[in-house]
């Protein structure tokens, strides 16, 4: 069956939306489309577009995606740059790509490390920390850019209850940010979401 056939929805600005559904329903595909990874939405079999505000896009152009949209993948290790020796350098890499001044980079990286309870890892190598810690570091590397839209694919995966609470509180502290996230843990979704988007599929 075609993924996401007939799917149409609107997301209020600055809301938190949990995308729920069984494995294979198309949750990750949906985030890939919104992030621009899947390219054009129009094919020989289907048509579609993404509207942000009053503008419609197919595909979403880089000028809109970066830094407007932050995308956290289900396997966060693939987002690691692999060229930096410390956690703080990895997070600062995002700001360097945005042309942020060194002084502002230092302040913003310090702030996000503190807010995410990661300051003790600042000088550690990204490959020498636990999977849950790396997950938080890579989410921090998105948050430090202050995107208007956050797409998070199972962000609570690999996090213990304490870390999930920190992440939920951190996301809730964001202002004017729209958050769309997938989850298989209903407890985390209930902590964070204002609205729920449930995707199901049929084998017909």
pLDDT given for residue 88 in this prediction: 96
3-state secondary structure of 138: helix
Lowest mean pLDDT, pick from 52-56, 67-71, 104-108 = 52-56
CA distance 179 to 53: 15
Other beta carbons within 10 Å of 107: 12
Q: Which of 4-8, 91-95, 124-128 has the lowest mean pLDDT?
A: 4-8
pLDDT of residue 24: 80
What is the C-alpha separation between 200 and 104, in angstroms, rounded? 44
Strands (DSSP E) found in 105-177 = 149-153
Question: Residue 98's CB: how many other CB atoms inside 10 A?
Answer: 14
Please say if the pLDDT value at position 193 is more than 70: yes
H/E segment holding residue 104: helix 102-115
Average pLDDT over all residues of the chain: 84
What is the mean pLDDT of the segment spanning 47-52? 66
Give the separation between CA 190 and CA 196, rounded to whole angstroms. Answer: 9
Q: How confident is the model at residue 48 (pLDDT cuts 50, 70, 90)?
A: low
180 has pLDDT over 80: yes
| Arithmetic mean of pLDDT, 179-203 | 84
pLDDT band at 179 (very low <50, low <70, confident <90, very high): very high
pTM: 0.82
Lowest pLDDT segment from 50-64, 89-103, 146-160: 50-64
pLDDT above 90 (res 58): no
Residue 198, phi then psi, degrees to nearest 5: -105, 120
| Owner of token pair 């989410």 | 139
CA 84 to chain centre: 21
Per-residue pLDDT band for 1 (boundaries 50, 70, 90) equals very low
């Amino acid at each position: 069956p075609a993924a996401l056939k007939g799917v149409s929805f609107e997301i209020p600005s600055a809301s938190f939306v949990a995308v729920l559904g069984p494995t294979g329903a198309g949750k990750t595909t949906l985030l890939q489309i919104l992030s621009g990874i899947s390219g054009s939405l129009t094919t020989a079999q289907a048509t579609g577009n993404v509207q942000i505000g009053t503008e419609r896009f197919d595909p979403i152009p880089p000028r809109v995606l970066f830094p407007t949209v932050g995308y956290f993948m289900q396997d966060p290790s693939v987002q690691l740059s692999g060229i930096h020796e410390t956690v703080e350098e990895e997070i600062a890499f995002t700001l360097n790509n945005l042309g942020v001044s060194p002084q502002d980079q230092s302040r913003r990286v310090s702030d996000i490390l503190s807010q995410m309870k990661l300051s003790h890892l600042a000088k550690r190598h990204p490959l020498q920390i636990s999977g849950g810690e790396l997950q938080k570091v890579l989410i921090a590397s998105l948050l430090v850019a202050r995107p208007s839209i956050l797409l998070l694919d199972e962000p609570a995966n690999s996090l213990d209850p304490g870390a999930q609470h920190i992440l939920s509180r951190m996301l809730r502290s964001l202002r004017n940010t729209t958050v769309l996230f997938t989850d298989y843990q209903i407890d985390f979704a209930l902590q964070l979401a204002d609205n729920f988007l449930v995707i199901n599929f049929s084998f017909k």
